[in-house]
Amino acid sequence: MSIARRDFLKVVGGASVAGSLAGYGVNVGAVTVSVPAFGFSDDSVPMNAANLCPMPTMVSEAHARYAKELDLSLSSATRGEVEAQKEVARSKLAAMLGTSADELAIVRNTSEANNVIVQGISLKEGDEVVLWDQNHPSNDVAWEVQTARSGGTVRRFSVPTDSGSIDEVVDLFVAAVSDKTRVVSFTHISNITGFRTPVAEICAAIRARKDDVHIHVDGAQTWGAVDIDLGAIECDSFSGSAHKWFMGPREVGLLYVRERHIDDIWPNVVSIPWGGTKDDAPKGARKFDALGQRDDAAVASLADAATFHEAMTPAGIEERSMMIADRLRAGLQDLGVTFVSSANPAFASSVVILSAPGENSRKLVGQVFDDSGIQTAGTGGLRMSPHVYNTEDHVDRVIAAISKSRAMLS
């Protein structure tokens, strides 16, 4: 074990959460704990949060415990206890995101959350849907499928990654809105370029331009990484996946729908716990998570993942993740390599992407892993997305490996 790794494991402490988090080892906000909370080994380190995150051991153990409890007894008492964790999770997430629990649906992933909005909004002939051209397919081609049915139209617009100011970016969003615009849908942080949109300013400006536009924000790359206050962002809906930056269970996701829109959006799936008539819908946004039998153990462990976040605080997590990403950016800048992602602090995120020819990207991911033990991704170039579990040592190792393979970059 390297010195840096040993130091990293010593840093964290925090009496208030030491019990529940016993096992974590990094400085996040005010929290300090002493042993690694994640099970991965030092020679296979994830730096790919934009795709998938490991769960902290306390969450994967809780998940296994709930599953075992159900296998030992499927009595209504045991099932009720496990299922009750879903409401615990909903309340904890609502408190962290600045919403009410009734505005949150616990769905399966961002793709599903996006599609509740895409397929559930009533569009009519001539309605226009405005999309940022960096949206994920579940928030892009999904709209084409919907407008082919409804007679609406899709219009896409671009934002240069080398944009200089927030005003410049906001103006591009507003200019894309016309009198026919019914929906504007965009990604908070792009998985393709790592560009972080000034979401609050954009939503406020779109609202001022046309008040009746539904604004949907895809938060797959922000929920769990960024301290988000949905009360301060004038969007109408927001989506995310627990298995990405939230470090939660796989195939669990989040959909926020502002209260005044819940009645107007049709659910894609109607099943238990919906009641016996069409008017017997579960309360609030719960109508979007009436998906029939779920993996209740996974859903329950979302509450434990939320406890993990509460302890470190979303602000502490954002600060730590960005600190590590900034160190990575600075080290790579010293190598003189070309970035896809923005280095402008107004738009930079924890998704750091280097330019690489498509045919080299996969090979680079393999070589970097062989040389550093760090897992990156070949998405949009060579993509690194460090999170709170990454250390200065991981960053230095990945930079050294990239330096060795730099001839393969663009």
Ligand X SMILES: Cc1ncc(COP(=O)(O)O)c(C=O)c1O
Q: Which residues bind ligand X (CB under 6 A)?
A: 109-111, 136, 138, 187, 191, 218, 220-221, 241
Position 216, amino acid: H
Q: Are 304 and 89 in contact (CB under 8 A)?
A: no
Q: Which is nearer to ligand X, 55 or 401 (CB)?
A: 55
Q: Are 240 and 253 in contact (CB under 8 A)?
A: yes
Q: Which is nearer to ligand X, 99 or 138 (CB)?
A: 138
> Rounded to an integer, what distance in angstroms lies between the CA atom of residue 233 and that of residue 223?
14
E-strand stretches of 325-387: 352-354, 374-375, 382-384
Least spacing, CB of residue 61 vs ligand X, in Å: 23
Q: Which is nearer to ligand X, 109 or 360 (CB)?
A: 109
Least spacing, CB of residue 29 vs ligand X, in Å: 26
Q: Which is nearer to ligand X, 147 or 241 (CB)?
A: 241
Q: Which is nearer to ligand X, 197 or 221 (CB)?
A: 221
> Rounded to an integer, what distance in angstroms lies between the CA atom of residue 340 and that of residue 356?
9
Q: Which is nearer to ligand X, 32 or 191 (CB)?
A: 191
Least spacing, CB of residue 391 vs ligand X, in Å: 24
Q: Which is nearer to ligand X, 32 or 185 (CB)?
A: 185
Least spacing, CB of residue 49 vs ligand X, in Å: 10
Q: Are 275 and 290 in contact (CB under 8 A)?
A: no
Least spacing, CB of residue 30 vs ligand X, in Å: 30
Least spacing, CB of residue 218 vs ligand X, in Å: 5
What distance, in Å, lies between the first and last C-alpha atoms of the chain? 34
Residues composing the chain: 410
> Rounded to an integer, what distance in angstroms lies between the CA atom of residue 212 and that of residue 216?
13
Least spacing, CB of residue 267 vs ligand X, in Å: 18
* Phi, psi values for residue 272, rounded to 5°: -60, 135
- List Cβ neighbours of 18 (8 Å cut-off, separation of 6 or more): 33
Least spacing, CB of residue 79 vs ligand X, in Å: 26
Q: Which is nearer to ligand X, 34 or 51 (CB)?
A: 51
Question: What does the CA dihedral 202, 136, 116, 201 come to, rounded to 10 degrees?
Answer: -10
Output the CA torsion sign for 202, 204, 206, 208: negative
Least spacing, CB of residue 84 vs ligand X, in Å: 25
> Rounded to an integer, what distance in angstroms lies between the CA atom of residue 253 and that of residue 321?
21
Least spacing, CB of residue 299 vs ligand X, in Å: 15
Q: Which is nearer to ligand X, 241 or 405 (CB)?
A: 241
- List Cβ neighbours of 273 (8 Å cut-off, separation of 6 or more): 282, 286, 290
Q: Which is nearer to ligand X, 136 or 387 (CB)?
A: 136
- List Cβ neighbours of 255 (8 Å cut-off, separation of 6 or more): 104, 105, 107, 112, 113, 116, 117, 237, 238, 239, 285, 288, 289
**Rg of the Cα atoms in the chain:** 22
